[in-house]
Structures are given as C-alpha cells and as structure tokens.
Amino acid sequence: MKHRGIMFALIALITSPVFAATLSGAPRILDGNTIQIDKTTVRLSGIEAPETDQICLDAQGRKWACGVAVRDELIKHSNGRTWDCHTERVDEYRRALGSCFIEGEDINAWMVRSGLALSAGASHHTYLVYELAASTAHAGLWSGALIAPWDWPRRNRGTIIVGATSVPVDAQEVLLGSVLLSEPPSPECLIKGTVERRGERIYYLPGQPGYEQIGMTKKRGERWLCSEAEAEATGWRKAVP
C-alpha cells in the first residue's frame, strides 16, 4: 500500500498543472503573447497582446494590422538577444505561463508600458500602473482605437471599443465589419483557421483541399494565422488531407 501511495503521488506530480522552470535562450516569437525557446512554448502571463489576426484603428482612424505590428515590435526589441523565462504552470494549450526577461528587463512589463499589450489576468494589478501610463501617453495601441484582445474573438455589437481620448465615431462599425478579415492582415498570414461542428479548431495551408472553400467571413471563430508554429501553439490542428 505504501508503494502504491508513492506511485499515485508521482503520477499526480507529473500531471499537475504546475510547471516551475527557468528557460534561457534566443526565442522564436510567434505573436505578442507567445514565444518558443528550444521546444518549450511560453505564454507571457499577466498581459494580453493582440493575436496576429487582430485589426485596430491607428491615430488617423485607419485600419491597422495591430496584431502583426505588435509581434514585429517584440521581435525588433528582442533583436536576437537571450531571454530568461521563469514559468510556474501551463495553460489549456500546454503552454508554460510565466515572466520573461532580457538582460534583467521585464518583458511582460515592457509590453504593457509600450502600449503593445494590456494588463490582464491574476497579475492585473502588477502591470496596471504601466497600462495607465501607456494609455495616458497614447502609446502603441492606445494611439487609436481597439477591441480588448480578450474580446476580439467574441466581438459583437455589445463589445466596448477602447483607446485614445477621441475614438472615431465609426470605430465600432469598422472593427465589427463582416468583411474586415476577408483579406489576410499581412501577406505572410495566409493560413486559414476554422472551427468545425464539434468545436475543433482546424487550420488549412494554401493549396490544401478545402482551403479555397473557407470564406473567412461566414463563421465565428474563423481567423488568419501566420505560421504553423503559431497555429499549433494556440490550439489549432492541421487539417488531414
């Protein structure tokens, strides 16, 4: 019985959501929230950046591929340098959740301070002061208008538009337009993701059977993805021919 108890304790430890670890290396940046170091996918905790399919409005009220822009700003800031990430647990997509640093600089905080992400989750209070400073300075996303990243996938007529002091009067109409994502946000983001009947998130590569039949404006949950690594890290599965 004693050995059986030890065995069950080990199984519980292995399958526990706790994932305490320290990772170091130059990452592959998949989006403003997600990176990969070696074979481990890390999701920056306490913040929400736009996913690569999100569209915002810039300071002039023009449509702006803010999700791709945020990812590119993070790549630019990283500049091939080594990251140190401290993770504590995993999320529903088996991504390690944690905070990352470049030469001692807190990247989670830098994202919010630069207006490239919003403070969110259990660590909301940790980064809220940076969000207030960024919004006051109209930095990054706060220069125009946007839908909060956590509301973007479920956006509807009741969704609140946030942003600069003077949000364009037609901001909601533009950001909720049915044809908003009929074209990819960037020429590199050509992978189509669609939600099947059973709720399964499937992605199709250009040239795959069924790719051309996905209209990208017909079903809620359809979105453009920029790479297979991004798709798989955020819970999408490749369509089987």
**Over 144-172, what HEC string results?**
CEEECCCCHHHCCCCCCEEECCCCCCCHH
Percent of the chain with pLDDT over 90: 65
Is the model's pLDDT at 9 over the cut of 60? no
Is the Cβ–Cβ distance between 135 and 145 less than 8 Å?
A: no
Angle value at C-alpha 221, between 139 and 150, nearest 5 degrees: 35
> What pLDDT, in 10s, does the model give residues 109-152?
999 999 999 998 766 678 999 999 999 999 999 999 999 999 99
| Average pLDDT score over residue span 35-56 | 95
- Per-chain mean pLDDT for the chain: 87
Quote the radius of gyration of the chain (alpha carbons, Å).
19
Residue 10 is predicted with a pLDDT of 39
pLDDT on residue 4 = 44
The stretch 74-97 carries a mean pLDDT of 94
Domain boundaries, the chain: 14-177, 181-241
Whole-number Cα distances in Å, 29 to 82, 123, 208, 235: 12, 22, 26, 16
**pLDDT of 179:** 65
Write down the pLDDT at residue 113: 97
List all residues 6 or more positions away from 179 whose beta carbon is below 8 Å from its beta carbon.
217
pLDDT for residue 52? 96
At 221, the pLDDT band (50, 70, 90 cuts) reads confident
Handedness of CA 128, 129, 130, 132 (dihedral sign): positive
pLDDT of residue 178: 64
Q: Does domain 14-177 have CATH number 2.40.50.90?
A: yes
Residue showing tokens 């526990």: 16
Residue 88's pLDDT band, with cuts at 50, 70 and 90, is confident
Banded pLDDT at 155 (limits 50, 70, 90): confident
More confident call, 103 vs 171:
103
Q: What is the pLDDT of residue 53?
A: 94
Which band of pLDDT confidence, cut at 50, 70 and 90, is reported for residue 241?
Answer: confident
35, pLDDT greater than 90 = yes
